[in-house]
Amino acid sequence: MIITDILARNAWMHKNRTALVERTPALDRRKALTWEQFFQTANKFANSLDQYGIKKGDKIVQLMTNCLEWLPIYFGILSTGAWVVPLNFRFESDKILICAQTAEAKVFIFGEEFIERIEAIRIKLEAHVRLWMYTGPSSSCPAWAVQYETFIEPGSEDHPPKVKLSIDDDAALYFTSGTTGSPKAVLLTHKNLEHACYVEHAHHNQTIDDIFLCIPPLYHTGAKMHWMGSFLVGGKGILLKGVSPKWIIEAISKEGCTIAWLLVPWIHDILIAVENKEIDLSKFTLSQWRLMHAGAQPVPPSLIENWKKYFPNQDYDTNYGLTESTGPGCIHLGMENAGRVGPIGLPGFDWEAKIVDKTGELLFGNESGELIIKGPGVMKEYYKNPVATAQTLNDGWLKTGDIARYDKDGFIWLVDRKKDMIIYGGENIYPVEIETFFLKNSRIKDIAVIGIPDDRLGEIPAGIISVKPGCILCESDILEFQRELPRYKQLKKIYFGDVPRNPTGKIEKPKLRRIYAEDKRKDIKKLLR
């Protein structure tokens, strides 16, 4: 079923039930939409786009932070047959320009936070963008843009435009985060989006009474596709604007949330706040919170072991996915395997997975190779990039670029990204293994391991370590702690500092390499003079 039809069904069956709630703790503000209001708003927007002249296959950029309008706009675009192009709200002007030009966007929807970034590139997009639409306060609407509320006012709310949509039609362009280079445009179909609903529901058994807490950015497939399990059954979604540990726990308590998907840094922060007695869990209503699941990056087993001390009766799941697989769920641990924290799990609902060597031959046992996956969630292509498409897709199989291995029970363990591997004197080192080891240290909040150039060994492993508040840690402590590691995996350089992560929790290693590896390269050049 096309997801716009699922929205219509929810509006018919559950019209007066709350669909979405937006919580903004910093402003003490709460807004809500029923399923009927959600459907009507999406229809008004879709019909207004239709009247404006937007046709099936046109592209519409959506550059917004999470808000109550985000999903009705998204569904309104899909209802016209146009492609929705959600952009990372952290992209600077240069990346926004590349994405909008690649999409050849006819309409560009943006929030107040992005006026300055757009003004820097607006002239360069005049060849494609016919309409700039502003979703912020009317008092700050630029003269060159139309206000969203004004634009949708004439549109009919009763039903979407009469556009024939097929499950195989193209639906959305999602740009990769660009953590390993320039963002690539991932083309997803309506079938891809539909499958995300069924995968999430199959894995986490949502009912109409479940309430899903959504904190990560909606432009990313991770947050939205997890929400789609609740969407499929008409369950309520809570959009939390802000990631303070107290705000998260408060939202779960006050809204009666039963499911929350958390990124590793937020789990860390909540545990620190509980351990430091900044949060007293006994003062909140949390018994209804049945599932906490995590993903978007390797999840340290020690972190979940600590979490279970405070939430012993809660189900847990690890989810793995990519933008190219329409988000999470192609591999997942499964709630029934929550006691086996460490591996990313088994192939998800309607998915296949293999681990192969460089020649494509199957690997078994404890051998490390590339994880490849196949299923209804695999992207159609990298849009306008046939070379990258051919390198990534082969007979329906998607090369993930991640190194993995099987354990003796057939569970898949994530070893690392191929591009993050460090070659130290001919030895392959996978940073995730070292990061997972160090996170057993109760004084370490976060760590990133990167390779920095060495004139003799090629690369050496270096660690950037973030220390928990109130704790003291020095280089000698790290040297002593890492004695359990094989010598070649031990850190050769130690730095104390922040570990930058993008909105989906992934460590921004290119940024760290620029800071630390580039400094090392300069030192080497000086020595060679």
Report the SS3 class of residue 184.
coil
Task: Please state, in angstroms and rounded to a whole number, the distance separating the CA atoms of residues 184 and 324.
Answer: 10
Q: Distances in Å between the alpha carbon of 380 and those of 140, 188, 385? A: 39, 6, 12
What is the torsional sign of CA 486, 492, 496, 501?
A: negative
DSSP string, 226-275: HHHHHHHHT-EEEEES---HHHHHHHHHHHT--EEEE-HHHHHHHHHHHH
* Pairing status of strand 211-214 against strand 236-240: parallel
Give the pLDDT mean for 53-75: 97
With a cut of 90, say whether residue 364 has pLDDT above it.
Answer: no
Q: Residue 116: CB partners within 8 Å, gap ≥ 6?
A: none
Q: How much is the average pLDDT of 366-391?
A: 94
Q: What are phi and psi of 421, to 5 degrees?
A: -60, 140
CATH no. of 427-528: 3.30.300.30
* C-beta separation of 523 from 459 below 8 A: no
pLDDT grade for 279, boundaries at 50, 70 and 90: very high
| Rounded to 5°, angle at Cα 97 from 92 and 99 | 100
Q: Please give the pLDDT value at position 508.
A: 82
Greater confidence (9 vs 183) lies with: 9
Q: Are strands 107-110 and 59-63 parallel, antiparallel or unpaired?
A: parallel
Three-state DSSP string of 507-519: ECHHHHHHHHHHH
Confirm if 400 and 371 have CB atoms less than 8 A apart: yes
- How many CB atoms are located within 10 Å of the residue 335 CB? 16
**Angstrom distance (rounded) from CA 331 to CA 376:** 13
Residues 3-10, mean pLDDT to the nearest whole number? 97
Mean pLDDT value of segment 417-424: 74
Weakest mean pLDDT among 27-36, 52-61, 411-420: 411-420
Residue 168 or residue 181, greater confidence: 168
* CA distance to 11, 96, 199, 289, 349, per residue, from 331 (Å): 32, 31, 10, 23, 9
Element (H, E) at 197: helix 190-204
Q: Identify the residue with better confidence: 11 or 364.
A: 11
Work out the average pLDDT over 99-118: 96
Beta bridge partners of 464: 448, 495
Using the predicted structure, report yes or no on whether residue 421 has a pLDDT greater than 90.
Answer: no
Give the total residue count for the chain.
Answer: 529
Residue 381 has pLDDT above 90, yes or no: yes
Average of per-residue pLDDT across 423-432: 73
As a whole number, the mean pLDDT across the chain is: 90
pLDDT digits (tens, 9 = 90+) for 396-407: 999 998 889 999
pLDDT at residue 529, as a whole number:
36
